[in-house]
A and B are shown apart, each in its own frame.
Chain A
Amino acid sequence: MTGAGVAGAAVQVAAVGAGAPLLVGWMRQVRALLEGRIGSGVLQPYRDLRKLARKQSIVPEGSTVVFATAPAFIAATMLVVAATVPTVTVASPMDGVGDLFVVVGLLLIATVALILAALDTGTPFGGMGASRETTIAALVEPAILVAVFALSIRANSSNLAAIVTATAHRPGDVLTPAGALAFAALVVVIAAETGRLPIDNPATHLELTMVHEAMVLEYSGHRLALVEWGASMRLAVLVGLLANLYLPIGIAGAHAGAAGLVVGVGAIAAKTALLAGALAAGEVFVAKVRMFRVPELLAGSFLLGLLAVTAAYFIAPRGA
């Protein structure tokens, strides 16, 4: 643990926490422009969150402490994930737990918290959304593990910071068949994990097509703001992780000064904006797949991940 690492982790949490709504606004704006609209501006999610924080938060009759506390739990879990995943620095003091399996587990904890909260309200749509989310989560978690595992073989470690550091030293190593297969698998998995097209439509208001939205139907006021903030942080962390696994340019090391951290924040902001913009632009061209086709899509993603692991063993990069 170094001073730069502690400062880096603090900057990382602040950057993800403060920047995540901006990322959501940016993705909406990209979509709006491609659809020929003007859009509400990249800052609209902040305006929405500020408004929600000031409004009455209704707790439905018959719901328990699970419903009331889940939003804070989700937001807190996402902040821990933000501190752990190497977005700005690879020297976070959370490095000891910065393992692939821990991060995926933390993401799952937040998912389970929201599923339980949705069931807690006792509404039909909450239960339906929870059941769908469980189906998706059960298929997404192994796929994300296998895909990142393919990248971890090179680094001889499942520690995310170690994988990113290895790629930073030898950037050409990710340009292998294994790297390409894992990238394709990760894109599908991240779309599923963050509730975006073609698995879930974040802009829908039709109850029968919802997954994430169906679970948060009963939330209002500051609790809804926390859930939305948590969801945007999940998106920011996963997109940031994908960017750094393949292009760790500018990430701060163990002995980076203040300038290094500023460069780190700038680099991750640029990479995330670019990747998220590409994801949002891609969404314009795809339709949501039927719920019964989602397992096929995610099984395909898992297969790509599995092939990536196999390829990583058989087709080693030159000089490895």
Chain B
Amino acid sequence: MGLMSTILRLGRIAEHAPEPPTRVALDVGSRTSLHVRHVDAGSCNGCEIELTGCFSPVYDAERYGIRLVASPRHADALLVTGVVTRNLADALRTTVDATPEPRAVVAVGDCACDGGVFSGAYGVVGPVSSVVPPDVEVRGCPPHPAEIIAGLRSVTGR
């Protein structure tokens, strides 16, 4: 059993949990559980790779009650990455409408926050704020997984 011996040898991989960040003035219905739907509005997939890292054993976002879900209907927060392109502006609006209240919108990455390197490009509507006002912004190109997790934790305060 190669996998079993690896599991026993490695033990716990998760890094030490940092202190919970200050909670933003926002209620999503719970302070212990946050289900997140990821929306790629036109990202270069740099943020997606870091997002994958958030749920890896090293950062283990699940320990703060954060889970990625399959549908905006199940979500408490929408995590939007990338600059909003013309093709996906409507999709983003529809996704926000499909998310039950109370909900939060988290913009992750410089592109989502202010357009980043793509601001002013011809196929671009603008940052997330030009379609829906974000409640939390996580800066960086791409942001570090720990920063993304800190942004998500600031919604629940857990």
Interface residues of A (CB under 8 A from B): 32-41, 44, 47-48, 50-51, 54-58, 204-207, 210, 213, 217-221, 224, 284-285
State which of A40, A56, A204, A206 has its C-beta within 8 Å of the C-beta of B62: A40
8 A-B pairs, CB-CB below 8 angstroms? A37-B14, A37-B60, A44-B32, A47-B65, A56-B102, A205-B68, A206-B70, A213-B70
> Could you tell me the distance in whole angstroms from the C-beta of B143 to the nearest C-beta in chain A?
21
> Could you tell me the distance in whole angstroms from the C-beta of A94 to the nearest C-beta in chain B?
34
Is B74 engaged at the interface, CB distance under 8 Å to the other chain?
yes
> Could you tell me the distance in whole angstroms from the C-beta of A83 to the nearest C-beta in chain B?
30
Chain A interface, DSSP helix/strand/loop, else mixed: loop
Is B10 engaged at the interface, CB distance under 8 Å to the other chain?
yes
Is B44 engaged at the interface, CB distance under 8 Å to the other chain?
no
Instruction: Knowing that A54-B30, A217-B70, A220-B73 touch, tell me 19 more A-B residue pairs with CB under 8 angstroms.
Output: A36-B7, A36-B13, A40-B62, A41-B63, A44-B32, A47-B30, A50-B30, A50-B33, A51-B29, A51-B30, A51-B76, A54-B29, A57-B100, A58-B100, A210-B70, A213-B70, A218-B73, A224-B73, A284-B3
State which of A47, A219, A224 has its C-beta within 8 Å of the C-beta of B33: A47
Q: How far is the CA of A47 from the CA of B29 in the complex (A)?
A: 10
Q: Which 9 A/B pairs are nearest by Cβ-Cβ distance?
A: A36-B13, A51-B30, A220-B73, A56-B100, A36-B57, A205-B70, A217-B71, A37-B60, A38-B63
Of the listed residues B67, B69, B73, B98, the one surrounded by the most CB atoms of chain A closer than 10 A to its CB is B73
Residue-wise, chain B 1-39 has the 8 Å CB interface mask toward A (1 for contact) of: 001100100111110010000000000011011010000
Chain B interface, DSSP helix/strand/loop, else mixed: loop
Q: Which residues of B have CB within 8 Å of A44?
A: 32-33, 65
Q: Which residues of A have CB within 8 Å of B62?
A: 32, 37, 39-40
> Could you tell me the distance in whole angstroms from the C-beta of A275 to the nearest C-beta in chain B?
19
Q: Which residues of A have CB within 8 Å of B13?
A: 35-37
Q: Which residues of B have CB within 8 Å of A224?
A: 73-74
Q: Which residues of B have CB within 8 Å of A40?
A: 62-65, 67
Q: How far is the CA of A56 from the CA of B72 in the complex (A)?
A: 12
Is B101 engaged at the interface, CB distance under 8 Å to the other chain?
yes
**Are A204 and B30 also in contact (CB < 8 A) when A44-B65, A56-B101 are?**
no
Interface residues of B (CB under 8 A from A): 3-4, 7, 10-14, 17, 29-30, 32-33, 35, 57, 60, 62-65, 67-71, 73-74, 76, 98, 100-102
> Could you tell me the distance in whole angstroms from the C-beta of A319 to the nearest C-beta in chain B?
39
Of the listed residues B33, B67, B69, the one surrounded by the most CB atoms of chain A closer than 10 A to its CB is B33
Q: How far is the CA of A48 from the CA of B10 in the complex (A)?
A: 30
Q: Which residues of A have CB within 8 Å of B76?
A: 51, 55
Q: Which residues of A have CB within 8 Å of B70?
A: 204-207, 210, 213, 217
Q: How far is the CA of A56 from the CA of B13 in the complex (A)?
A: 37
Q: Which residues of A have CB within 8 Å of B30?
A: 47, 50-51, 54
Of the listed residues A50, A206, A210, the one surrounded by the most CB atoms of chain B closer than 10 A to its CB is A50
Q: How far is the CA of A205 from the CA of B67 in the complex (A)?
A: 10
Q: How far is the CA of A217 from the CA of B10 in the complex (A)?
A: 36
Q: Which residues of B have CB within 8 Å of A56?
A: 100-102
> Could you tell me the distance in whole angstroms from the C-beta of A286 to the nearest C-beta in chain B?
11
Q: How far is the CA of A213 from the CA of B65 in the complex (A)?
A: 19
> Could you tell me the distance in whole angstroms from the C-beta of B105 to the nearest C-beta in chain A?
16
Q: Which residues of B have CB within 8 Å of A35?
A: 13, 57
Q: How far is the CA of A38 from the CA of B62 in the complex (A)?
A: 8
